[in-house]
């Protein structure tokens, strides 16, 4: 979990002050192009000028607590109501249930890494692995509908990470509530 994942509204108030955060509430509808990557959040925030301000913030770990390092193209330059508005919108969106969970993002990134490993010139010596079980996802062609579907298999791995045994696995709903030990 990154410092940004642990960042709360209380942390925002501690970093910027209650007055600045309160001013930021008036700018929530002016936040656009919001994006987050790693420990950084960026957005455009419409102020009094014709063009929106470029706003960014990094949340870092400082003495065991999240600390906000911000920048804004407004005259204040950092720690302003535009930063507060951006972070308040981000905090609200982070809580939305339709936002992908971090585990889902990691799962998708695993697919991307596997695809890169299959590219020409990416082959290498198999790595030794202590993992004995895993879930593998297989894209299967459905002959009846001419569609594709994703099937999930619980696999047993050898010392080099190669599959020794496999069985179809579909207990996904329960695994979302309580992840099995082998995942």
Q: DSSP letters of 109-133?
A: HHHHHHHHHTSTT---PPPP----E
Least confident range of 79-83, 94-98, 174-178? 94-98
Domain carrying residue 67: 3-95
12 shares its domain with 79: yes
86 shares its domain with 155: no
Q: Which of 38-42, 154-158, 169-173 has the highest mean pLDDT?
A: 38-42
| Interstrand relation of 133-142 and 53-62 (parallel, antiparallel or unpaired) | unpaired
Q: What's the chain's average pLDDT?
A: 84
Least confident range of 24-38, 40-54, 83-97? 83-97
Whole-angstrom Cα distance, residue 163 to residue 150?
18
81 shares its domain with 129: no
Residue 18 inside a domain? The answer is yes
Say yes or no to pLDDT of 82 above 90. Answer: yes
Q: Which of the listed residues 76, 95, 114 is the one where a domain comes to its end?
A: 95
pLDDT digits (tens, 9 = 90+) for 131-151: 788 877 788 777 777 787 788
Signed CA dihedral, 154, 160, 162, 165: sign only: negative
61 shares its domain with 133: no
Whole-angstrom Cα distance, residue 45 to residue 30?
5
């Amino acid at each position: 979990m990154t410092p940004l994942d642990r960042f709360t509204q209380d942390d925002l108030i501690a970093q910027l002050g209650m007055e600045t955060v309160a001013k930021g509430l008036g700018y929530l509808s002016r936040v656009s192009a919001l994006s987050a990557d790693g420990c950084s959040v960026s957005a455009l925030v419409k102020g009094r000028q014709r063009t929106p301000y470029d706003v960014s913030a990094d949340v870092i770990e400082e003495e065991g607590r999240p600390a906000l390092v911000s920048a804004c193209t407004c005259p204040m330059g950092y720690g302003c109501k535009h930063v507060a508005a951006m972070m308040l919108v981000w905090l609200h969106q982070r809580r939305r249930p339709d936002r992908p969970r971090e585990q889902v993002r990691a799962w998708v990134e695993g697919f991307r890494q596997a695809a890169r490993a299959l590219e020409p010139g990416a082959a290498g010596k198999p790595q030794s692995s202590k993992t004995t079980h895993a879930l593998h996802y297989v894209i299967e062609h459905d002959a009846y509908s001419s569609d594709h579907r994703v099937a999930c298999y619980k696999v047993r791995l050898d010392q080099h990470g190669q599959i020794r045994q496999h069985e179809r696995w579909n207990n996904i709903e329960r695994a979302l509530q309580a992840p099995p030990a082998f995942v």
